[in-house]
Amino acid sequence: MSMHERISRREFLEKSGAMAGAVAAIPSLVAASGPAEAATLMPHRTLGRTGVSVSILAMGCGSRFLQFPAEQATSVIERAVGLGINYLDTAIDYGNGESETRVGRFLAARRRNVFVATKVPPSARTRDAALREVEASLKRLRTDHVDLLHLHGLGDEADLAKIEAADGALKALYQLREQKVARFIGMTSHSDGAVMAKAIERHDLDCVQMAMNPSRALRFEELALPAANRKNLGVILMKVTGQDKLLGAGKADAASLLRYAWSLPISTAVCGMPKLEFLEANVATAQAFASSLSPADMDRLRRQYAGSTVEMARFFTGHRDDGTWTA
């Protein structure tokens, strides 16, 4: 039987040789205070209708993670998990599979108790193409399933129409969720909040990942976030600092932007952290986050970045965090 007609977790295991990695587990090697203590210090939220408890800070494994030398990647993830992060965000587009390969080395030893999200690239908008990409992703990740599978980088109305077509990639996600190759499914976007809101309203998704920060570019916070909340979807926020464009002299610091993110009705915020000191600083901010910013403080940050809205919209519309990587 063709894989494109029916796909199963067992077939993925046999094709990828992932059986040993799927069941093996070793203790975490990091966090001086111990992983159990670190996990209790890290705030968690429920990922919407999934019911899964996730750390409010997620480890972004895109271009910034790929700035670490390959030989350090596993220890960096171990450090993040030891500090209480249980959500790893990767994609084939990050370094043409290099990010998934690095995450896979960690998962081969420690798959349990880590929530792993990956993504079907924008180049695979048909059902068959999406199935092929997922098979390749699981081989790199050394696992038989992912916790969350997104369609990556939803763009304009025409892109949504491709996804929704009779042979569109959305069909593959429904199939993979039914067969438990993906526990949950979703979409990501940093291009158009109105189009994302339509996708949320029309389809049976579990989660969405969206670009939101005080610049409020492209109306994700105004349109797509309420649509997701109405359906109790798990909301993953990305681009907390606008790919660092919202940082610098005269601007808010990363901690303030993270607090803004967590003051929205979201589950977790994905951050790329290219240095261990950034990871540790963001974890400290998360551990200290006790209550949401006041409406006045939220509005103050929005006013501060109102002049960045057009720039952010222009940047995100054509942006692709591909994490270009070379050996």
Residue 25 has pLDDT above 90, yes or no: no
**What's the pLDDT at 318?**
80
CA dist 86 and 286 (Å) reads 13
Whole-prediction pTM value?
0.89
Q: What is the dihedral of CA 271, 86, 281, 191, to 10 degrees?
A: 10
Are 77 and 106 a contacting pair, CB within 8 Å?
Answer: yes
Encode pLDDT of 39-90 as tens digits: 569 999 999 999 999 999 999 999 999 999 999 999 999 999 999 999 999 9
| Pairing of the two strands 234-238 and 268-272 | parallel
State the average pLDDT for the chain.
89
94: tokens are 């990050």
Which are the catalytic amino acids?
94
Cβ neighbours for 236, distance < 8 A, ≥ 6 positions apart: 58, 89, 117, 186, 188, 207, 208, 209, 210, 266, 267, 268, 269, 270
The residue ranking higher by pLDDT, 19 or 36, is 36
Encode pLDDT of 257-313 as tens digits: 999 999 999 999 999 999 999 999 999 999 999 999 999 999 999 999 999 999 999
